Amino acid sequence: MSMLMFVYFLLFLFGFLSVSLSQSNATVKCPLDFSIQSRLAEASRHSNDANMQCQLIRQGIGLVQSDYLRRTNSFLISDAFTEPCWQTVQSLFDKYPNHFDIRTVCGIQTHIFTQGCRNLTTRAQYEAKNSKFTLNSVVEACNQSLQIGEACATCTTSISALEPSYERGRNSDYNSDCIYYKCIYAAAFSNSFGPAYKHNVECLFALTFDRSESAKKHGEHLIIACSASGFLIFVMSFAVFWWLWRYKLKMIRSKKDALDSTSSDLDSICGDTTLIKFSFSEVEKATKNFSKLNIIGSGGFGNVYKGVLLDGTEVALKRFKNCSSAGDAGFSHEVEVIASVRHVNLVALRGYCIAMTQFEVIPDRPTPITADVDGMENSFSSTGISSMSSFSTY
């Protein structure tokens, strides 16, 4: 009975260990980043020629190993990750047309991830094999953009001086690993852009990235540049608009102040006279909106219009040409003088108009401030901001 229980216990333990190991293998993830290979151009991923395909696979693995070395300072991975990493390589290749078993056709074995060249496993061990002069020479030659052919040639020439070198009598796998170590190390530490930079990939591993990837990045950079330029133009336009608005507002206020001053002067005159203060709309109706057909004369200060008031009274209106503060003062003075003059041969002053009108930028038709004085009409409006007018009957 005790023997039977012991057998059951062994079977249970064996089953438990088997399940645990299978679950452990299922959860083990390869530490190498093979997503870099998915960015390679189609011509760098597969070929119809088997020998060329094997070479591309080996170069792609070297690129991934260089990225791992840069991140961890280690060339090799633990034996526990060998099978998951190899399955990742094979699964990526199985997505390409004309795929095959890599180990059978190419002869690339799993020890490529765990043994390498002369059992050199870390960056420190590899650098100990080379003099500081050699390492510095490689950095000096390779730490630049390798896009230009001459720069790439200088870099690869300096890399050839790294140890360990090719050894006669050794098998091809051994020498191949040692040769790849040179490019793996140089791509990881001799160029500040890193192994996954497109020009480093082209020069050191003879691979190319998809054009669509670089075009996408170029498009993103272009969008950012255009957005920044558009924002800058918007800010500058807003600043210019704000400055012009402030300037215009300042001019309007100064004109209004001058107009208020003139109006105050005329109101004080009207207090002692019978002058009528007309509205600007009354002036426009009287002159049919300052029609050219109503012009009956002109002088140095402006045109004289014939007009008819709402009560049927015919009048002459003089419209000043300018809106300067000096013109406003001159208009007030003219109104004051004419209002105080009485003679049988002179037409009596009937009234005046002071009004603010909307600014216009039509050069041939400025908006006026009109004034009609003694059968002659005055108006200030060269700027189209304000107009003053006084009226008198014929």
Domains of the chain: 16-205 (no CATH), 257-393 (3.30.200.20)
What's the pLDDT tens digit per position in 329-340?
666 677 777 777
* pLDDT score of 317: 86
What's the pLDDT tens digit per position in 376-388?
333 333 222 233 4
3-state secondary structure of 22: helix
**Binding-site residues:** 318
pLDDT exceeds cutoff 70 at 251: yes
Q: How far is CA 236 from the centre of its chain?
A: 15
Range of weakest confidence among 43-47, 129-133, 338-342 = 43-47
* pLDDT score of 259: 55
Which contiguous run of DSSP H or E holds residue 302? strand 302-308
Q: Give me the DSSP letters along 102-149.
A: HHHHH---GGGGTT-STT--BHHHHHHTS-HHHHHHHHHHHSS---SH
pLDDT exceeds cutoff 90 at 118: no
**109, 82 Cβ separation under 8 angstroms:** no
String of b and e for 134-152 (b: at least 16 CB within 10 Å)?
bbebbbebbebebeeeebb
**Binding-site residues for ATP:** 318
Q: What mean pLDDT comes out for the span 122-140?
A: 93
What's the token pair of residue 232?
A: 């800058």
Q: What mean pLDDT comes out for the span 215-238?
A: 77
> Can you tell me the distance from the alpha carbon of 374 to that of 388, in angstroms, rounded to the nearest whole number?
15
Q: What is the overall mean pLDDT for the chain? A: 74
What's the pLDDT tens digit per position in 174-194?
455 778 889 999 999 999 999
Tell which residue, 75, 184, 167, 61, has the closest CA to residue 124.
Answer: 75
> Can you tell me the distance from the alpha carbon of 40 to that of 208, in angstroms, rounded to the nearest whole number?
6
Query: How distant, in Å, are the alpha carbons of 174, 199, 217 from that of 229?
Result: 56, 29, 18
For residues 9 and 231, which has the higher predicted lDDT (pLDDT)? 231
Matching residue, tokens 């009560």: 311
> Can you tell me the distance from the alpha carbon of 31 to that of 354, in angstroms, rounded to the nearest whole number?
88
pLDDT exceeds cutoff 60 at 155: yes
What's the pLDDT tens digit per position in 85-94?
988 888 888 8
- DSSP secondary structure code for residue 28 in this structure: -
pLDDT exceeds cutoff 60 at 50: yes
pLDDT exceeds cutoff 60 at 361: no
Name the band, by pLDDT with cuts 50, 70 and 90, for residue 68. Answer: very high
Range of weakest confidence among 16-30, 263-277, 334-348, 377-391 = 377-391
pLDDT exceeds cutoff 80 at 362: no
Angle at which helices 198-205 and 172-189 pack, to 10 degrees? 150
Q: Give me the DSSP letters along 147-200.
A: -SHHHHHHHHHHHTTSSS---TTS-HHHHHHHHHHHHHHHHHHSSTT-TTSHHH
